[in-house]
């Protein structure tokens, strides 16, 4: 099966890849519609930037950014996910029509979010996470046996236990390795190379590599300057092909069209068997 494509709508002034571009309700809604037209299956609406070093918005600020956008797009029939670590924001988002909570902290930042998810019965993305963005680079150490792959697997398994204990049904859980979150470039590559180790946990996998710094590093120029965030799209599409071939459930991207095109190439190839 072709993976679900999750299109990103960051309603933030400061996200690393698209900060400030869609920070009014009108602009964010228009962007969401454009992503749907490009083939997105899910729209992921976020009001907090998690770029390395980012500081956190106030709860009220985050809520004011995402709720009107979710309300509008959900009313138009879109499957909407809210990208938040906060229970209060998740609650308001679900009230506004979100059918999925995408929590980059997997319930660690605000454990009450699990109760909101359990009570509302929506889908829940639990990403691998160790610390907030202003400190996460201090936690990018994976020295145990099996390195980053074993550590991420084990830490996600522990989150699944806590999430289920909080009353969230197993069939609602989606796991995400959290590329770039407390991870250096080599950690991201290792995870991408060994997704089967995470798939063996028995849950659908969502992966977000789109425009991330490890791609900027990969494509650095001769002087060692990372490739600009706006010029990482071809590499992002290449990763989408890798992810689809690895059998992931979902791919989180900013440019939906290029990934959907790549998935259509793969589907045509498979149909020629």
Task: Supply the residues annotated as catalytic.
Answer: 212, 252
**CB 91, min distance to ligand PMM, A:** 19
**CB 258, min distance to ligand PMM, A:** 15
- Of 71, 176, 190, 255, the residue at the interface with ligand PMM (CB under 6 A) is 176
**CB 263, min distance to ligand PMM, A:** 18
- Which of 47/208 has CB closer to ligand PMM? 208
Contacts of ligand PMM in 81-100 (CB under 6 A): 83
- Which of 19/147 has CB closer to ligand PMM? 19
- Which of 102/120 has CB closer to ligand PMM? 102
By the rule CB under 6 A, 8 interacts with ligand PMM: yes
Tell me how far apart the alpha carbons of residues 153 and 197 are, in angstroms, rounded to a whole number.
7
By the rule CB under 6 A, 206 interacts with ligand PMM: yes
By the rule CB under 6 A, 173 interacts with ligand PMM: no
- Which of 134/267 has CB closer to ligand PMM? 134
By the rule CB under 6 A, 72 interacts with ligand PMM: no
Only one of the segments 13-21, 144-152, 239-247, 264-272 lies at the binding site for ligand PMM (rule: CB under 6 A); that segment is 13-21
SS (H, E, C) the chain: CCCEEEEEEECCCCCCCCCCCCCCHHHHHHHHHHHHHCCCCEEEEECCCCCCCCCCCCHHHHHHHHHHHHHHHHHCCCCEEEECCCHHHHHHHHHCCCCEEEECCCCCCCCHHHHHHHHHCCEEEEECCCCCCCCHHHHCCCCCCCHHHHHHHHHHHHHHHHHHHCCCCHHHEEEECCCCCCCCHHHHHHHHHCHHHHHCCCCCEEECCCCCHHHHHHCCCCCCCCCCHHHCHHHHHHHHHHHHHCCCCEEEECCHHHHHHHHHHHHHHHHCC
Instruction: Identify which of 61, 63, 201, 41 has the alpha carbon closest to the alpha carbon of residue 126.
Output: 201
By the rule CB under 6 A, 148 interacts with ligand PMM: no
The residues facing 205 across adjacent strands are 175
**CB 44, min distance to ligand PMM, A:** 7
Only one of the segments 33-41, 159-167, 203-211, 214-222 lies at the binding site for ligand PMM (rule: CB under 6 A); that segment is 203-211
Give the residues lining the site for ligand PMM (CB under 6 A): 8, 10, 15-17, 50-51, 83, 102, 104, 125, 127, 176, 178-179, 206, 208, 210, 252
């Amino acid at each position: 099966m072709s993976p679900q494509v999750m299109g990103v709508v960051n309603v933030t002034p400061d996200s690393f890849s698209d900060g400030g571009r869609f920070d009014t309700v009108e602009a964010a809604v228009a962007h969401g519609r454009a992503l749907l037209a490009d083939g997105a299956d899910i729209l992921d609406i976020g009001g907090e930037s998690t770029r390395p070093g980012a500081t956190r918005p106030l709860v009220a600020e985050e809520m004011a950014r995402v709720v009107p956008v979710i309300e509008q797009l959900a009313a138009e029939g879109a499957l909407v996910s809210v990208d938040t670590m906060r229970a209060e924001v998740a609650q308001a988002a679900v009230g506004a029509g979100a059918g999925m909570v995408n929590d980059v902290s997997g319930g660690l930042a605000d454990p009450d979010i699990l109760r909101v998810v359990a009570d509302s019965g929506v889908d829940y993305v639990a990403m691998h996470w160790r610390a907030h963005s202003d400190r996460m680079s201090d936690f990018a150490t994976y020295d145990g046996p099996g390195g980053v792959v074993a550590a991420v697997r084990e830490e996600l398994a522990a989150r699944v236990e806590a999430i289920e204990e909080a009353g969230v049904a197993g069939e609602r859980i989606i796991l995400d390795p959290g590329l770039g979150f407390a991870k250096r470039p080599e950690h991201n590559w290792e995870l991408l190379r060994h997704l089967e180790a995470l798939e063996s946990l028995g849950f659908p996998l969502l992966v977000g590599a789109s425009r991330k710094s490890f791609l900027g590093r990969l494509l650095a120029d001769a002087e060692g300057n990372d490739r600009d965030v706006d010029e990482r799209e071809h590499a992002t599409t290449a990763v989408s092909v890798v992810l689809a071939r690895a059998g992931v459930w979902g791919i989180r991207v900013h440019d939906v069209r290029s990934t959907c095109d790549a998935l259509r190439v793969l589907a045509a190839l498979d149909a020629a068997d």
